[in-house]
């Protein structure tokens, strides 16, 4: 029975150490947390052997536990050293480095088994005794070195770090250092000189380590673990207290009465019950106050969450929302001050301050929202205590305020506001229930504020839209009047246009019948006169000039009539299957004498196989002849070439010459009506400026066809290409 009772402290301490180690490993699996978990497992194993050696009287069993105790101690100090080296942030070291550092610990552990560290284990006056071996001092020295290097590395990082990490380092250092001092004193100096019962008190060192780690977790979220204190923990503390009292009751009863079932034991039990009854209620209150001081005390917010959520849902404007926040926080958290900043695209647009009595607007914040604080909030996205941030990050208005918590407000993945919460009026701290309430309510507040901002924007937009609609309505009314006026004018212009089109048709009829007739008569008379033999040279020259000019005039009239016909959307012609090889040969035969008389070479390049397209042979021949005639007109020496080829699923007809070329500035408008290049006008004054226009209209009447100037250079020639789809 005694052994089982004595095992309970061992079980409780080991369970708490394992719980903390497992919690850190499960929460965040980085190197630091993994090393702490491994350290906790080694610590549990070492403490088990260290504690069990005090429970038994069998010397052989004690020898096993004692040697295992000495075997694990160097490994425990090594893992403590490695953990401290990698806390709070892992350092970049290779695996070989860690293997190198563990070798001395393994050597000392192996020496502890074969009697080089301790030997001659025996009992003297019911006290465990042993002699130190030849390597004992080196053994102790190695353990001290491991711990010292770990503590020095922590002190160095403590000077460098800031904010919450600095505080975590502080409490981890204190916990490990005080624990190590107590354990070293008991195991290096007292183990060979005190009773087994007294030696068990070295577990105090582990309790100190547990308390510092637990405190760091709750206050500073050590290992990334969030608030873990709850009413359950208070109940657990009360249960432990009851167990300790019961343990003391059994121990004292047996110590003074020798048996649990005697008159003396009943009297003593009655007295102990009276003592327990008198101290249990004050003890519970003390535990509650202790929990309040360390773990934040407050009311249970679950009773009012529903009411607050409903009130926030009903609130529409920012002012209404602020009143709900003020009243709710006053009722639940008993806050002295609340500061709320509302952002628009991460810029502070308004600052509203509320205390326990009122909310009021103070205008725009002059001091900018610190980038460091904004970055911290965006990275954490959680409620922050004042201890977790650098006070210098806070805007000026809050640096001198008693700010305890910072509550970020998020909506649509961006910060829309920030609440700075002051302390409570009763000076108590925030507990887990308070934080849970804030976590719940901040989502409601964020949504409500976001909706209020949207409502305001929509309301402003509606007002602005209404103004714009009124303005646009007036403008539309004015435009409607103008449109009606323009419609009337267009109607008149349409009537005039029909008259002009009618006049144009009449003009074309006159031109085709009345203008051609006299020109034909002039040509006929000039031709008759040119055949007389009795004409002088001067007369022949004049008659030939009349004949040439009448022919040009006939061509111009013909071009004008064709251009007028083609310059309409209705222009089209019937197409048939045409052999391009044959068509181009005919053009070549018709023009080769004229070109030869001018002293120019005329070339024709045709593919071996015949190429056919759907076209009108008369119109296509006219288009090509217009291009060839231009080449004849503006080429003084060299050659003119017609080339037919197939390339990239296209059929190409190229007319190339070595004439005067075309200025680049004239190219964009060259296919327009009555347009001639400047150098062409200078070289040949006659010409209608309609040849290229007619050619383009004919080519454009083919689906997918085009005509363009492929290349040109002044005084070196021009290449014009006609392209058809296959």
pLDDT value for 672: 83
Q: What tokens does 317 get?
A: 């404007």
Q: Is pLDDT at 470 greater than 70 in this prediction?
A: yes
Q: Is pLDDT at 441 greater than 70 in this prediction?
A: yes
pLDDT value for 555: 65
What are the φ/ψ torsions at residue 690 (nearest 5 degrees)? Answer: -115, -10
How many angstroms separate the CA atoms of 63 and 187, rounded? 15
pLDDT value for 486: 84
How many angstroms separate the CA atoms of 97 and 414, rounded? 44
First-to-last C-alpha distance (Å) of the chain: 107
How many angstroms separate the CA atoms of 85 and 232, rounded? 34
The DSSP bridge partners found for residue 119 are: 131
Order across the sheet with 639-647: list the strands.
Answer: 601-605, 639-647, 650-657, 717-725, 706-713
**Among the ranges given (167-176, 256-265, 586-595), the one the predictor scored with the smallest mean pLDDT:** 256-265
Q: Report which of residues 351 and 46 the model is more confident about.
A: 46
**Among the ranges given (192-196, 356-360, 424-428), the one the predictor scored with the smallest mean pLDDT:** 356-360
Q: Is pLDDT at 400 greater than 60 in this prediction?
A: no
> Quick one: pLDDT band at residue 624, thresholds 50, 70, 90?
very high
How many angstroms separate the CA atoms of 492 and 498, rounded? 10
pLDDT digits (tens, 9 = 90+) for 287-330: 555 554 444 344 444 556 677 778 887 787 877 887 888 777 77
pLDDT value for 299: 46
pLDDT digits (tens, 9 = 90+) for 451-461: 887 887 888 88
> Quick one: pLDDT band at residue 472, thresholds 50, 70, 90?
confident
Q: How far is CA 118 from each of CA 192, 194, 408, rounded to the nearest angstrom?
A: 11, 17, 60
Q: Report which of residues 233 and 201 the model is more confident about.
A: 201
How many angstroms separate the CA atoms of 301 and 436, rounded? 8
**Among the ranges given (165-169, 495-499, 554-558, 668-672), the one the predictor scored with the smallest mean pLDDT:** 554-558
Q: Which of 217, 91, 208, 211 is nearest to 164 (CA)?
A: 217
How many angstroms separate the CA atoms of 201 and 186, rounded? 8
pLDDT value for 165: 80
**Among the ranges given (85-99, 171-185, 343-357, 617-631), the one the predictor scored with the smallest mean pLDDT:** 343-357
Mean pLDDT for the stretch of residues 108-114: 89
How many angstroms separate the CA atoms of 74 and 110, rounded? 10
pLDDT value for 488: 86
Instruction: Please give the distance of CA 71 from its chain centroid, rounded to a whole number.
Output: 53
Report the SS3 class of residue 191.
Answer: coil
Mean pLDDT for the stretch of residues 423-447: 74
Average pLDDT, the chain: 77
- Scored b (16 or more CB within 10 A) or e, 344-368 reads eeeebebbbbbeeeebeeeeebeee
Q: Report which of residues 274 and 333 the model is more confident about.
A: 333
Mean pLDDT for the stretch of residues 696-723: 91
pLDDT value for 280: 56
Task: Kindly report the number of other CB atoms within 10 A of residue 120's CB atom.
Answer: 10
Q: Which of 123, 142, 144, 121 is nearest to 132 (CA)?
A: 121
Q: Is pLDDT at 365 greater than 70 in this prediction?
A: no
Query: Percent of the chain, pLDDT > 90?
Result: 22
- What is the pairing mode between strands 414-422 and 118-124? unpaired
Report the SS3 class of residue 348.
Answer: strand
Q: What tokens does 121 get?
A: 């284990």
**Among the ranges given (33-42, 176-185, 466-475), the one the predictor scored with the smallest mean pLDDT:** 466-475
pLDDT value for 359: 44
Question: How many CA atoms are closer than 13 Å to the CA of 35, on its beta-carbon side?
Answer: 21
How many angstroms separate the CA atoms of 545 and 450, rounded? 92
pLDDT digits (tens, 9 = 90+) for 649-700: 899 999 999 999 999 888 888 888 778 888 887 776 566 677 888 888 888 8
Give Cβ neighbours of residue 323 (< 8 Å, ≥ 6 apart).
Answer: 315, 359
| DSSP summary character for residue 701 | T
Which of 309-323, 405-419, 500-514, 634-648 has the highest average model confidence (pLDDT)? 634-648
Q: Is pLDDT at 261 greater than 80 in this prediction?
A: no
Residue with tokens 């009618």: 502
Q: Is pLDDT at 361 greater than 50 in this prediction?
A: no
**Among the ranges given (9-18, 137-146, 407-416, 614-623), the one the predictor scored with the smallest mean pLDDT:** 407-416
Contact 164, 221 (CB under 8 A): yes
Question: How many CA atoms are closer than 13 Å to the CA of 105, on its beta-carbon side?
Answer: 21
pLDDT value for 296: 39
């Amino acid at each position: 029975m005694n052994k089982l009772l004595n095992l309970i402290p061992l079980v409780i301490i080991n369970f708490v150490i394992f719980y903390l180690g497992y919690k850190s490993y499960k929460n965040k699996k980085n190197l630091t947390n993994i090393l702490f978990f491994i350290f906790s497992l080694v610590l549990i194993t070492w403490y088990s052997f260290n504690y069990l050696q005090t429970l038994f009287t069998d010397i052989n069993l004690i020898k096993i536990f004692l040697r295992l105790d000495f075997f694990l101690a160097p490994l425990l100090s090594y893992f403590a050293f490695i953990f401290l080296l990698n806390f709070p942030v892992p350092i970049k070291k290779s695996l070989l480095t860690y293997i190198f550092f563990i070798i001395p610990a393994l050597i000392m552990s192996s020496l502890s088994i074969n009697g080089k560290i301790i030997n001659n284990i025996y009992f003297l006056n019911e006290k465990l005794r042993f002699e130190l071996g030849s390597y004992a001092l080196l053994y102790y020295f190695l353990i001290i070195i491991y711990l010292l290097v770990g503590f020095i590395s922590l002190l160095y990082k403590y000077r460098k770090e800031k904010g919450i990490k600095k505080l975590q380092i502080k409490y981890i250092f204190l916990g490990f250092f005080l624990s190590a001092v107590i354990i070293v004193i008991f195991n290096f100096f007292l183990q060979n000189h005190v009773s087994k019962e007294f030696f068990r008190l070295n577990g105090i060192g582990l309790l100190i380590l547990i308390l510092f780690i637990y405190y760091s977790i709750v206050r500073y979220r050590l290992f990334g673990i969030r608030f873990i204190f709850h009413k359950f923990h208070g109940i657990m503390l009360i249960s432990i207290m009851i167990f300790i009292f019961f343990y003391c009751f059994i121990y004292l009863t047996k110590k003074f009465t020798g048996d649990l079932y005697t008159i003396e034991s009943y009297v003593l039990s009655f007295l102990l019950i009276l003592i327990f009854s008198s101290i249990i209620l004050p003890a519970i209150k003390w535990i509650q106050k202790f929990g309040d001081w360390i773990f934040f005390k407050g009311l249970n917010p679950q009773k009012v969450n529903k009411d607050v959520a409903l009130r926030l849902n009903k609130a529409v404007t920012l002012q209404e929302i602020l009143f709900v926040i003020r009243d709710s926080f006053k009722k639940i958290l008993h806050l002295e001050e609340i500061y709320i900043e509302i952002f628009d695209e991460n810029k502070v647009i308004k600052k509203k301050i509320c205390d326990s009595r009122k909310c009021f607007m103070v205008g725009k914040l002059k001091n900018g929202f610190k980038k460091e604080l904004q970055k911290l909030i965006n990275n954490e996205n959680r409620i922050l205590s004042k201890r977790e941030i650098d006070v210098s990050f806070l805007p000026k208005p809050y640096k001198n305020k008693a700010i305890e918590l910072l509550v970020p407000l998020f909506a649509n993945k961006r910060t829309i506001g920030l609440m700075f919460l002051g302390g409570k009026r009763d000076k108590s701290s925030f507990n887990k229930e308070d934080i849970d309430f804030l976590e719940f309510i901040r989502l409601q507040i964020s949504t409500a504020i976001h909706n209020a901002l949207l409502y305001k924007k929509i309301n402003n937009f509606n007002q602005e839209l209404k103004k714009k609609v009124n303005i646009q309505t007036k403008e539309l009314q004015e435009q409607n009047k103008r449109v009606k006026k323009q419609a009337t004018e267009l109607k008149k212009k349409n009537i005039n246009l029909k008259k002009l089109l009618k006049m144009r048709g009449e003009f074309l009829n006159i031109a085709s019948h009345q203008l051609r007739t006299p020109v034909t008569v002039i040509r006929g008379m000039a031709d008759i006169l040119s055949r007389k033999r009795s004409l002088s040279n001067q007369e022949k020259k004049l008659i030939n000039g009349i004949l040439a000019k009448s022919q040009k005039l006939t061509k111009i009239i013909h071009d004008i009539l064709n251009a007028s016909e083609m310059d309409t959307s209705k222009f089209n012609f019937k197409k048939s299957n045409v052999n391009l090889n044959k068509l181009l040969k005919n053009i070549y035969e018709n023009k080769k004498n004229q070109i030869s008389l001018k002293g120019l070479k005329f070339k024709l390049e045709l593919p071996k196989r015949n190429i056919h397209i759907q076209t009108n042979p008369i119109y296509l021949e006219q288009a090509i002849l217009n291009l060839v005639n231009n080449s004849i007109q503006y080429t003084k020496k060299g050659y003119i070439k017609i080339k037919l080829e197939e390339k990239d699923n296209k059929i190409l007809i190229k007319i190339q010459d070595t004439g005067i070329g075309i200025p680049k500035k004239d190219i964009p408008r060259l296919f327009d009506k009555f347009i001639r290049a400047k150098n062409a006008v200078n070289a040949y004054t006659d010409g209608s400026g309609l040849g290229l226009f007619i050619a383009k209209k004919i080519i454009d009447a083919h689906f997918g066809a085009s005509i363009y100037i492929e290349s040109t250079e002044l005084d070196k020639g021009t290449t014009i290409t006609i392209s058809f789809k296959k």
